[in-house]
Structure 1
């Protein structure tokens, strides 16, 4: 009940997002040339909120009792059905079939959030990397930080380098990590604002996974 009330209050009075026709026209020209007839079905997914799969990634560094049960009451279920070749037990993500947005938690300095909202598809590259404890990992374009947070649910890298070239997005990235990862572990993460094309020359063959 309380989760429903929060969601209702969060979304009340907000205008629905509008499709920018100028951008869509540009996409039409660009991706029709690249994808041909496939672009039409891709476009339908991109502009239809009913097709967007919002997910709730639980944060293993925040011990919130009862959150999973509350999500199930709200109609959420595990995003991962069936066996996967790589699926750490600590990676817990929930989705539901009906559209809607879960209320986001505000950033509070020194306090770790309980969950991260993201598109479920964002977890696919994290699972594909199959990161193991002790491996050196580079997140090349890391902002806003969802994949970095998800990766740290899966394993404890030996060195974890989060890079974001843009100043504003880099600050966003650091705030995200601060919101989800406790201090002892944050100290093991290196942040940078490098042009990704330079990292291979600066740190050749340093990383196990990128």
Structure 2
């Protein structure tokens, strides 16, 4: 039996009726009633050893199974979406929502979040971890995490934009994010960190008022409200033979794609691609050679394929897109020095998703799994650096505020590579990129290796961390 099947069987066992009854009498933090609603536990009882042992087995399996695959939760709610990779996540991407609704007061914005109540256990954990790190800013960031996240609209350059969609954009007063930031029609320049060596420029071309086209030379067309207001859009259903005209995702998800700086004829790897939003954005940016869109988890790979087929013409999928299911850590052995660009939208603890976990045991397991994530993320990043060819670049991204999963992963990998590799790895300074987007995003000023989009109520994007490395 495959490891993913074993994993699923273990989940089914833990949350069977028998195990729920057992846990209800032994849970230290709370008990589960027959409707799975949590209640406070007054005793200091412990989990019985067989269940505790099985729980540890599951945690170990989830932490060491296919390393590029997301770590699944143990609760029944959203079983397959525990750590979303893009991401947001960061992978925070979404495929649609219901009718249109505009911004209201903060109370209305929270009410819009389907009446969900954030977990106090998770909030307490965030307060301990992030309160120390962000200090006085944490209360504002905390309030934003509990408010509805914003979504933007990525127009599909391969599909015709209907008059209905054009009217919707006009009525909601949406604008292209590049026009809002006044960067359309000019190049955005990247350069190496001056402390890291000689300066080198990279161009990201954007044309003003670029028109819809079925040619892959078309540039990104990403629409948001210029005042960062929340706007909802109709959900698009898949119609065989008909491409969807737009994809909904957080605007911060664009930043790792832009940082990757894809050029013509590049060979690109999206290592942890599901559900497919960043692969879609990559395919809109440049007429590059081949995109390898990878996802080892079978269920998430099906989602990835469905997304690509809903937005990309079949002839493009047949000739320029390769969907694979390889564990991310194996690219260093299977395809060393092959790719021009690699995007590692790593599995992460996904703060927004975790905040609304309903199952107490699932939340406890997430806390345990979170300790293992930096090791997993570092393994993926090291693999990407081996897979990229000399002169190529790697972008590492997460959708969490966690310093351990962001800068500290970068630091540990840089130290390991400098000791054990003949290649030279340098950090690319992304300040010039982020300066172009100051009108839309709020960035953390304390990061050392990458950039972090901080969510605030007046700019509720992210969290999204991204950093860029160049291999010589």
* TM-score in terms of structure 2 length: 0.39
SS in 1 for 2:100: helix
Q: How many Å separate the matches in 2 of 1:41 and 1:140? A: 33
Map of 2:315 onto structure 1: 184
Contact 2:113 2:147 in 1 (8 A): no
Q: How many Å separate the matches in 1 of 2:306 and 2:121? A: 32
Listed as ranges, the matches of 1:94-113 within 5 Å are 94-96=223-225, 97=227, 98-113=229-244
Q: Does 1:82 align with 2:182?
A: yes
Q: How many Å separate the matches in 2 of 1:64 and 1:24? A: 42
Match 2:157 to one of 60, 63, 67: 60
Map of 1:150 onto structure 2: 281
Match 1:91 to one of 220, 230, 242: 220
Q: Which runs of 5+ in 2 are unaligned?
A: 1-97, 102-111, 189-203, 208-218, 343-472
Residue deviations 1:81-131 (CA, integer Å, cap 9, x gap): 212512444210110132232122112232210000000000001111111
For the aligned residues, what is the CA RMSD? 2.3
Contact 1:87 1:127 in 2 (8 A): no
Aligned residue pairs total 199
Contact 1:88 1:154 in 2 (8 A): no
Map of 2:94 onto structure 1: none
Map of 1:48 onto structure 2: 147
Where does structure 1 differ by over 6 angstroms across 4 or more consecutive aligned residues? none
Change (3 A) 1:171 1:21: farther
Change (3 A) 1:14 1:31: closer
Map of 1:7 onto structure 2: 100
Q: Does 1:16 align with 2:119?
A: no
Q: How many Å separate the matches in 1 of 2:118 and 2:152? A: 22
Q: How many Å separate the matches in 1 of 2:284 and 2:152? A: 15
SS in 1 for 2:341: coil
Listed as ranges, the matches of 1:154-169 within 5 Å are 154-169=285-300
Change (3 A) 1:30 1:146: same
Q: How many Å separate the matches in 2 of 1:28 and 1:161? A: 39
Contact 1:76 1:94 in 2 (8 A): yes
Match 1:71 to one of 169, 178, 185: 169
Contact 1:141 1:163 in 2 (8 A): yes
Q: Which has the larger radius of gyration?
A: 2
Q: How many Å separate the matches in 2 of 1:103 and 1:205? A: 43
Q: Does 1:128 align with 2:221?
A: no
Contact 1:135 1:208 in 2 (8 A): yes
